[in-house]
A and B are shown apart, each in its own frame.
Chain A
Amino acid sequence: MKNNKENKQVRKKVLKGFTYLFLIIWAIIVLFPFYWMILTSLKSYSAYNSEYIPTFFTLTPTLQNYVEAFTAVPLAKYFTNTVIFTFITTTLMMVVIVLAAFAFSRLEFKGKQVLFLFFLSLMMIPTELVIITNFVTISHWNLRNTFLGLILPSVTSVFYIYLLKENFEQIPDSLYYAAKVDGTSDLKYLLKVMLPISKPTLITITILKIIECWNSYVWPRLITDDANYYLVSNGIQAIRENGFGRENIPAMMAAVVVISVPLIVLFLIFRKKVMAGVSRGGTKG
């Protein structure tokens, strides 16, 4: 009887061991590409190219590739473009969705329900269907290779309006009526009361939008063919195809590291918010 119990204990431990082993293996698979890009970015050009068999570490790390990445190709330009694009798009979108969510959650007007249902139904429209006409529209407005052209189609998101509306609705009505009695205008109520209360949701939406902007590739690719307006995704593709000369892989990896770091840092700071936000409505894959 005692033996049996001990057996069970051992089996439990073995199972636990295997569980951790499995989890560690997957962690390695996830982390390895990151390790490899940092490692390669620290190897010198000549050292990298003389390695027929790749080595797993380097004893002579160099930052030369980072210098190369910022001087030989306009990486700094791509980077600034992306920051500008991300900042303006996110700011504009926040204004648009806050106003819309406020109207849907707080104001009463004719046709509200119908309009909201209509908005919800727009959530089902895939980007791939509307991008064709948008491309033609933006081209006809002569907005190719401009920030305006890059930004315009992505300043509204029905999903975020929906998310924010749900959040706004949780704010008790009594606050609104109290403010009304005090003679506070709707706009002032929105800015002074609703926004501060909804700060967590606003931050989550902002971060999700920043991630989306930072990684956007398809629309910028269609709308820009002038390298002065490339965002990082298109920049890295240009670097790959004719940047440092095809073979300077360490410099390419340095560029990849520079592009990847901002989002990873942002994620590590706002880890909980990002994960909660994504599980509520992220879609990638």
Chain B
Amino acid sequence: MRKKQFKNDLKSWLYLLPAMLFLGFFMVYPLIDVFVYSFEEGYHSASQTYQGIGLYNYSYVLHDPYFLQAVKNTFLLVIITVPLSTGLALLISVALSSIKRLQQLFQTIYFLPYVTNTLAVGLVFMILFKKTAYSDGLINLFIHWFGGQSVDFIDGPYIAKMFVLCVYTIWIVMPFKILILTSALASVNQEYYDAAKVDGASKWKTFTKITLPMISPMIFYLVITGFIGAFKAYSDAVALFGTDLNAAGMNTIVGYVYDMLYGNSGGYPSYASAAAIILFAIVLTITTINMLISKKNVHY
């Protein structure tokens, strides 16, 4: 009996072996290693040697102007895009749920950005916003119509660049939020609405007193995933401003990590590790704060 049990166990582990090997090599080991790297001072890639153990890498990263710029960019991006995209998605989802005709068509259209290649479609945004010697670009044409001055959104002032990055980020994240919120709205029990109608509650009151509380867990879920996602922004910035984000002044924290690792300024896995760990300390803190706030405001 015992032998049979052992044989059974062995067989089960065999089924799990591929998954465990891959996870071990490419998730568990790297996770430990990244902390090790971050404390190894003066690490040399080619010889794999280091000089000492300490906090120098963290201190270097925290004093690097490129990192500080990346932190500023990332925070701005988060603070602007998360509330705007969540709010807009809520408006669109409410509108979408209130109609019957064409609902599916709209839903399908709204989902399209999710299945596009961020790098490829980013190029389209770049062209729409870019001002060149040959043309001011389409967005500038609109600005002219309203009597404004041309702005170079891709190589111009910081605010303009930040604006495009936010616009593109919002465009990209909307499908997911609309999808989640429309299904949340659809799952609110119809009986509550019927009861509100009997009581003669106004539409606005029904929305704030019934709909919002009922879907608040989902809104909260979107805010959290939105924060996490926006903190990890990178490829949208590359799509708009090219791979040399430091030169464009538009790098993000994740971009900084990769630049430290590889490319013209690369070869420093220790700095990259320290920066990555700082990023996740930030994300973890903010997620915790979000959780605490939500505990007070979300109705489950």
Mask for A245-284, Cβ within 8 A of B = 1, else 0? 0010100110110011001101110010011001100111
A192 to B51, CA, bound (A): 58
Interface residues of B in 99-115 (CB under 8 A from A): 99, 102, 106-115
Give 1 or 0 for each of B170-185: 1 = CB within 8 Å of chain A CB.
0111111101100100
Q: Does B134 contact A (CB under 8 A)?
A: yes
Q: Which residues of A contact B110 (CB under 8 A)?
A: 26-27, 30
Query: Out of B33, B114, B242, B279, which one reaches A133, CB within 8 Å?
Result: B33
Contact A132 B121 (CB under 8 A): no
Is A67 an interface residue when CB atoms closer than 8 A count as contact?
Answer: no
- Where chain B touches its partner, the secondary structure class is helix
Query: Is residue A85 within 8 Å, beta carbon to beta carbon, of the partner chain?
Result: no
- B interface, how many residues as a size bin? 35 or more
The answer to whether A30 and B34 have CB atoms under 8 Å apart is no
How many Å from the CB of A101 to the closest CB on chain B?
9
A37 to B118, CA, bound (A): 14
CB of B276 within 8 A of CB of A128, answer yes
Is B226 within 8 A of A285, CB to CB? yes
A145 in the interface (beta carbon within 8 A): no
A contact set with B: CB distance below 8 Å: 16, 19-20, 22-23, 26-27, 29-31, 33-34, 36-37, 40, 49, 51-54, 95-97, 99-100, 102-104, 107-110, 112, 115, 119, 122, 125-126, 128-137, 152-153, 155-156, 158, 161, 186, 211, 214-215, 217-218, 221-222, 232-233, 236-237, 240-241, 247, 249, 252-253, 255-256, 259-260, 263-264, 266-268, 271, 274-275, 278-279, 282-285
A sample of 20 more A-B contacts (CB under 8 A), given A129-B31, A152-B22, is A16-B99, A20-B102, A30-B109, A33-B121, A96-B19, A97-B19, A99-B16, A104-B16, A126-B232, A131-B30, A136-B269, A218-B258, A237-B119, A237-B242, A240-B242, A249-B127, A253-B123, A267-B112, A275-B179, A283-B225
